[in-house]
Amino acid sequence: DAKTTQPPSMDCAEGRAANLPCNHSTISGNEYVYWYRQIHSQGPQYIIHGLKNNETNEMASLIITEDRKSSTLILPHATLRDTAVYYCIVRVNDMRFGAGTRLTVKP
Amino acid sequence: DAGVTQSPTHLIKTRGQHVTLRCSPISGHKSVSWYQQVLGQGPQFIFQYYEKEERGRGNFPDRFSARQFPNYSSELNVNALLLGDSALYLCASSYEVYGGYEQFFGPGTRLTVL
């Protein structure tokens, strides 16, 4: 019962920005937008989260539209090690994962 | 600082048996959540605990149970194992249960049911 929609797969050239979209049209006012990634069968790795404002950290930037119905995760300079499944989640307390986007960074 | 730790790393059981999985949260974190990830799918929420109380439960049968101890560590128990319980079981900890506090995941326990 994930509340987000993501494309199943995307490719990106190494060194270029990777822009991963997410739709969450039914998001509530108190729900945060979270992004995680999972490499092979490791535990998901936290990337970034936000409520209303755009956010940036050492890994990525999160752009949330003004109506909060969609967001974009930006990896500014993708490397081969960024190849992973990326999950967008809207969350109040517990987290409900969807199928995510499989990002492949190519040389 | 140590991250979230889980034990065992791998486990093989047969149908009908019982299994206990363990999780130690990051120091200072008071909330633990459990997830099941079947091959090819995203993690599915099972339980969330905070201060030893269950705060959330996903759509799993009563064969699944959990508890949290005073030191905030947690156990996930699964009774009467089925083949379909074969999965990666993930534990995540956070300082609080509320949405503004990020959850950090452990490496998982790979359970195989034969």
Residue-wise pLDDT for A21-48, tens only, equals: 999 999 988 899 999 999 987 999 999 9
Distances (CA, A) of B57 to B29, B47, B86: 19, 5, 20
Residue carrying the six token digits 């936290």: A46
User: Which residues fall within 8 angstroms of residue A75, CB to CB, at 6 or more apart?
Assistant: A12, A17, A18, A20, A59, A60, A82
- CA torsion, ordered B33, B53, B60, A4, to nearest 10 deg: -50
**What are the tens digits of pLDDT across the range A50-95?**
999 999 999 999 999 999 999 999 999 999 999 999 999 998 778 8
Q: Do A95 and B45 touch (CB under 8 A)?
A: yes
Identify all chain B residues contacting A1, using CB atoms and an 8 Å cutoff: 59
Is there a contact between B58 and B46 (Cβ–Cβ < 8 Å)? Answer: yes
Mutate to test the interface with B, among A4, A46, A93, A102 (most CBs of B within 10 A): A93
Q: What per-residue confidence (pLDDT) applies to A88?
A: 96
User: Which residues fall within 8 angstroms of residue B69, CB to CB, at 6 or more apart?
Assistant: B52, B75
Q: What per-residue confidence (pLDDT) applies to A1?
A: 56
Q: Which residue of B has its CA nearest to A95?
A: B45
Identify all chain A residues contacting B107, using CB atoms and an 8 Å cutoff: 42-43
Q: What per-residue confidence (pLDDT) applies to B1?
A: 62
Angstrom distance (rounded) from CA A35 to CA A73: 8
Residue carrying the six token digits 């969330």: B48
Q: How far is A75 from chain B (nearest CA, A)?
A: 19
Helices (H) and strands (E) in chain B, counts: 0, 11
Quick check: A17 pLDDT over 70?
A: yes
DSSP code for A5: B
Q: pLDDT band at residue A2, thresholds of 50, 70 and 90?
A: low
pLDDT in tens, chain B (114 residues): 689 999 999 999 999 999 999 999 999 999 999 999 999 899 999 999 999 999 999 999 999 999 999 999 999 999 999 999 999 999 999 998 887 889 999 999 999 999
Residue carrying the six token digits 């993501």: A6
Q: Which of A31, A32, A41 sits opposite B88 (nearest CB)?
A: A41
Identify all chain B residues contacting A37, using CB atoms and an 8 Å cutoff: none
Q: What per-residue confidence (pLDDT) applies to B11?
A: 96
